Each structure stands twice: as structure tokens, then as C-alpha cells.
Chain A
């Protein structure tokens, strides 16, 4: 099983929206609605932002939204803020208790 593919970096100005893609295959992203997204600030543990493709845990702002089409999932951050600058990782269930991560996307707030 290969890892998921994410762009290495995206950037936007404060208040703008950015979208991060996460491309897998019909055996992982395309097969299950178990895609999650994690935010990781430097030196910190990852934090869950989205699960089940589009659900937000309590405490995560509604500026963060998730979606999926076919084998590609996406995370959109609206109303970009300085604190959103971080690395973002997608993760998908791939069956048989296996989970795959993307390579991570660095979000830069200009």
C-alpha cells in the first residue's frame, strides 16, 4: 500500500481560503468514508481537525471543512488566520486495520 499524496505546500493571505487535496486509491480513500485530517504545529503532537471525511470534533472552528470525491479528499480552511499556519496530514483507513497517511502539507499564511 502506498501513502496518500498531498501537495507539499499551500499558502494564502489572512481571510482567504485554502484547500488541501489528499489523493489515494479505490482501496483506501475511495473505499471508505474514514478520512481524517490532523494539524501539527512545530514540535507539537498532531491534533484532530476532521474525521469521517467531513465531521468536526468539538472545539474545532467551522472554518475547517472536509469533503471527498472519488479517490480524493480535501480539507478547506476558510477565513485563514495566522494560527492556522502548520502542517496538515490526511489519513485514510485502508482495510484490515491499516491506516495510511499523506506526506503532509505546509500551510503558510502570507
Chain B
């Protein structure tokens, strides 16, 4: 049974960084790509980037280039997303999601991690 379990909620000050983890179970992370997405309150889902552990690469969306770092640890079957230089506009629910199907379509989602940026 596939599960993606994310780390808990975070409260950060403007200018700080946040690191969110996503531990996969029921499969090996090198088998499929993994998306990172976010959803600000009342807003649409937004893709931040994609991790390809089996290939050894990542690709971030243009909007987040230079601010987002995506990594993985095969020993713990966990992927990570680090977002720096936070502003209030980064307050959102952050999701990891497995890309199983063609065109990187998502089948499973993590439960979400709420990141609040406030002074």
C-alpha cells in the first residue's frame, strides 16, 4: 500500500527557509518521479518542481528557480523540498505527489504540510 507521509506544520519568519520531508512507503522512490506542489489559501494547485531519484536529477519550475532545492535519501526512502527567502506569499499547503503515469500524471498525494510565513 503506497503512502506518502509528510513532516508537520511549520511557522517561519520572512527571509527564513523551510525544509519539508516526504517519506514514501509501499514502493521505492527510485521507481517513480515525485512532484512538489503547493496550494495557497483559496488558490489553485501550483507545481514547484519534480524529482527524479532514479535518474539523479531535479527540475524546478521557473517561478521557483534559485529558491527551491529538492533532494532525496534512498536509505530512508524520503524526498525533501527546501524553500528559501520566504515571504508571506509562500504561506500555503505544500504537497509531495507521486508521478506514476505518462506525462508525470500523479496517482498518490501526501497529506500536505502547512507552511505559515509570518513576522
Q: Residues on A close to B: CB < 8 A? A: 3, 32, 34, 36, 38, 45-48, 51-52, 57, 89, 91-93, 97-104
Shortest distance from the beta carbon of B57 to any chain A beta carbon, whole Å = 10
26 sample A-B contacts, Cβ–Cβ < 8 Å, listed by A number: A3-B44, A34-B102, A34-B103, A36-B101, A38-B45, A38-B106, A45-B109, A47-B109, A48-B105, A48-B107, A51-B107, A52-B101, A52-B102, A52-B105, A57-B107, A93-B102, A93-B104, A98-B61, A99-B103, A99-B105, A100-B47, A101-B46, A101-B47, A102-B44, A103-B44, A104-B44
- Closest residue of chain B to A48 (Cβ to Cβ) is B107
Task: Say whether A93 contacts B103, CB under 8 Å.
Answer: yes
Residues in chain A near residue B95, CB distance under 8 A: 45-46
Is the CB of B111 closer than 8 A to any CB of chain A?
yes
Residues in chain B near residue A99, CB distance under 8 A: 35, 47, 103-105
* Count class of interface residues, chain B: 20 to 34
Task: Say whether B50 contacts A51, CB under 8 Å.
Answer: no
Shortest distance from the beta carbon of B25 to any chain A beta carbon, whole Å = 16
Task: Say whether A34 contacts B101, CB under 8 Å.
Answer: yes
Shortest distance from the beta carbon of A69 to any chain B beta carbon, whole Å = 18
Is the CB of B14 closer than 8 A to any CB of chain A?
no
